[in-house]
Structure 1
Amino acid sequence: MIFVIKKKIVKKLKEFKQNYSYVRFYNNQDPVIYLNLKHKTKVRTYLNLFFRIRAVYNEPIVIEFSLLRIVFLAKWFKDLDYIYFSKPFSKLNKVKVFSHNKKADFNVNYNFKKVYSSVDFNKNALPYIMHPNNYLSKEAQIMEKKVGILMSGNFDKKIYGTNIISKNFGMMNRWDVYQEILKHSALLSIYGTDLLENLDSGQFKNKFVLMKWQTGAIPIEKWRDYLSSADFIFCAPGMTMPMCHNVLEAMSVGVIPILNYSNWLNPSLEDGVNCLEYSNSSDIAKVIDTALSLPEEKKQILRENTIAYFKKYYDLYDFKKNSSNELVVLNENISDLI
């Protein structure tokens, strides 16, 4: 864990040195959307708010100033020209306020347990996002189905072989899931370039295609294009929480998720309706066999349900229709998750 933290700190400091010149402070008089959140708020949480807010409001987004936030958010000022830091000691015309204060327009809390402890839809929960770069890229190109099951990601034991997921959430971690997948006879472990070059060959149609991040990932701007060529995506938990952005990327392009954290979606996904589920090591081979042997007409129904689910619950979030000022946000801080 210390190795991971050290790696993240080094990465953030490098990003800051490259991007701090893009940081800007708000000096105008026009109304703004104001964010004043706890110091432990994760970068992905800020980005989720940025993208969701911007889809509804046109005003500049101003963040409460702190030196720590500059270090962690500097990178995104280059790509998101509508975000600013508040200028110290200046007054702002705030059209909407997002904070932990009960009097805020949107009282932000990190009680995501309200979502994963219930199968029902929580209308006050902000939908989690795909990888942030997907919101900066052009729309994905939907491809013909040429892959049975696709799985891609980082499977480093130092990061994903810890007891965080099993201890806190009672489920298999990514490393243990990966070890079971390696045993399956339908597995093809390939480079990202292999998929790009041989997609039309037909060799992946009834296979489980695994691409390790360490062996060359598909560039993020092309990822959803090629992901859309799969019938299924096999999902495994993240490092500190089960929810991982790849399940949303897949559903957005009509790829059916196979996962062990259906209750982390809002509302919960349903096995055999818009996903396939596994729970333990003995389930993994079975769910792979089920997915690869499923008739085309049943896959089509699952696919249509998956797309409909994503469009209804994850495509947009309309703050203006929110009947309560509570806003439940998924923050990746372990103390918030449990």
Structure 2
Amino acid sequence: MKIAHITSLGNQFDQTIQRYKALVYPRRHIEYRRWLRQQTRTSPSHLQTLGQPLVVFDFRDNRIDGPQGRRFYGLFIFFVRNGFHPIFTDNYLVLGNIQEKFKQLCLREDFSILSHEQDLTDGYVLVTDKWYSSLSRRAGKIITINYQPDYSASDACFPMPFPLFPSLYATGEDLRLKDYRKQQRQWKIFFGGDAAAKKYNKNSIRKIYNKLSRAQILEILSASLPGELLLELTSDETLRRAEQTISKGVVIMNTRHCKVESEAWLGTIARADFFLACPGVRYPMSHNLIEAMAVGTIPITQYPELLFPALEQGKNCLVFTSAAELPALIHKARAMQGEELAAMKANVQSYYDEFLSPQSAIPRLLAHRPKHISLRLLPFLKPGGGFA
């Protein structure tokens, strides 16, 4: 049996447990009903009269959550950033864990719980993972979540952009990008993120995606770069000192040992011209690649094809495909100056603004098809290589 098939079966079993475990916790159900009684029941028709568009989320169960509620919140906040008022249908399997982990960030925004379908005025946007929703009849747009892997540009579905880390939206950091893009760049190349070797060295990265793992990449740099070109931040004190210096090499920050608050994270990435985009845990895509592009820091990556459209070598990224290519690419980035560097930075910012920002993603999503739209939630996913 192939490793991809075994991994896929394990993922499916884990997903099933996570989706339905709430049914065996009566206390959680009691707490949910108590929470529900406290929620706003604002008339959706009143909001539409005031000109605010509505998006109704009608999910079957919490499969939409993804890791710790990130997918649910990401979709939710993308619509909020575009002026939509979110409405949830009363579904315990979906909302029973809304006060947990990243999903609880939804509670910082205004939303309503739908009491009666007849309260809705025709023309709302419906987002659902059901094969049929009774709310479909009067919706202006119907967006159906598609969890399938192996997206192709020829598929008749819309690829959901990978988001920033949830707390950056919750704190409004995504609304400050213009300031961060103007920031002075004092480091040449930066990597920041969790660097636990065992966690970031999964077989799925190497076997299914055919990429170097995060642990492998950091090990290659440690072995190939001279000491004066490698600055490892191992504590808050080393970070404070680095913030006062200019580095022409690679600055590596393991967030296990050197913590940066959400409000300071984008500003930290914006100190560098380039960001070394190491893979995530089960699949290559990682929030910090998107965060780097948001502030105009140019990614050095081995998976340009996993963004849609793909990133382009020399235009909005630098690409390596093997361990042997990485050291030379680091030196190429170090040598880049002037107009070439400025042009790549501008291209990176333009790519984020056009394809990754909530303000562009939702209008493009709604324009994808006249009414019925299939949304590929994880377009970068390969069979057996992680799960929602």
Tell me the TM-score normalized by structure 1. 0.82
Q: Quick check: 1:330 aligned with 2:374?
A: no
Change (3 A) 1:333 1:167: closer
Change (3 A) 1:257 1:298: same
Change (3 A) 1:22 1:101: closer
The correspondence of residues 216-235 of structure 1 with structure 2, limited to 5 A, is 216-235=258-277
SS in 2 for 1:113: coil
Q: Quick check: 1:59 aligned with 2:79?
A: no
Looking at structure 2, the residues matched to 181 and 63 of structure 1 have their Cα atoms a distance apart, in angstroms, of: 50
Partner of 1:36: 58
Partner of 2:220: 180
SS in 2 for 1:223: helix
The correspondence of residues 18-97 of structure 1 with structure 2, limited to 5 A, is 25=39, 27-31=41-45, 33-37=55-59, 38-41=61-64, 42=66, 43-63=69-89, 65-67=91-93, 69-71=95-97, 73-75=99-101, 76-77=104-105, 79-83=107-111, 91=117, 93-94=119-120, 95-97=124-126
Write the deviation string for residues 225-260 of structure 1: whole angstroms up to 9, x where unpaired. 121110000011111111111111111111000011
Do the aligned partners of 2:200 and 2:214 also contact (CA within 8 Å) in 1?
yes
Looking at structure 2, the residues matched to 66 and 336 of structure 1 have their Cα atoms a distance apart, in angstroms, of: 29
Q: Which has the higher helix share?
A: 2
Looking at structure 2, the residues matched to 217 and 146 of structure 1 have their Cα atoms a distance apart, in angstroms, of: 20
Do the aligned partners of 1:65 and 1:86 also contact (CA within 8 Å) in 2?
no
Looking at structure 1, the residues matched to 62 and 314 of structure 2 have their Cα atoms a distance apart, in angstroms, of: 41
Do the aligned partners of 1:99 and 1:106 also contact (CA within 8 Å) in 2?
yes
Aligned residues: 319
Determine which of 128, 137, 150 is the counterpart of 1:113: 150
Task: Report the alpha carbon displacement of residue 39 of structure 1 after superposing the two structures with TM.
Answer: 3.1
Partner of 2:49: none
SS in 2 for 1:281: coil
Change (3 A) 1:278 1:73: farther
Do the aligned partners of 1:25 and 1:86 also contact (CA within 8 Å) in 2?
no
Partner of 1:99: 128
Change (3 A) 1:74 1:215: closer
Task: Report the alpha carbon displacement of residue 189 of structure 1 after superposing the two structures with TM.
Answer: 0.7
Q: Structure 1: which amino acid aligns with 2:336?
A: L
Q: More displaced, 237-246 or 177-186?
A: 177-186
Partner of 2:290: 248
Change (3 A) 1:159 1:194: same
Looking at structure 2, the residues matched to 122 and 292 of structure 1 have their Cα atoms a distance apart, in angstroms, of: 41
Do the aligned partners of 1:256 and 1:306 also contact (CA within 8 Å) in 2?
yes
Tell me the TM-score normalized by structure 2. 0.72
Write the deviation string for residues 120-149 of structure 1: whole angstroms up to 9, x where unpaired. 898822222111122133414422010010
What RMSD in Å do the two structures reach over aligned CA positions?
3.3
Partner of 2:232: 189
Partner of 2:245: 201
Determine which of 159, 165, 171 is the counterpart of 1:125: 159
Task: Report the alpha carbon displacement of residue 207 of structure 1 after superposing the two structures with TM.
Answer: 1.3
SS in 2 for 1:182: helix
Partner of 2:203: 163
What fraction of aligned residue pairs are identical, expressed as a percent?
19
The runs of 5 or more residues in structure 2 that have no matched partner are: 1-6, 23-27, 46-53, 137-141
Looking at structure 1, the residues matched to 55 and 249 of structure 2 have their Cα atoms a distance apart, in angstroms, of: 48
Do the aligned partners of 2:156 and 2:374 also contact (CA within 8 Å) in 1?
no
Looking at structure 1, the residues matched to 202 and 113 of structure 2 have their Cα atoms a distance apart, in angstroms, of: 37
Do the aligned partners of 1:34 and 1:96 also contact (CA within 8 Å) in 2?
yes
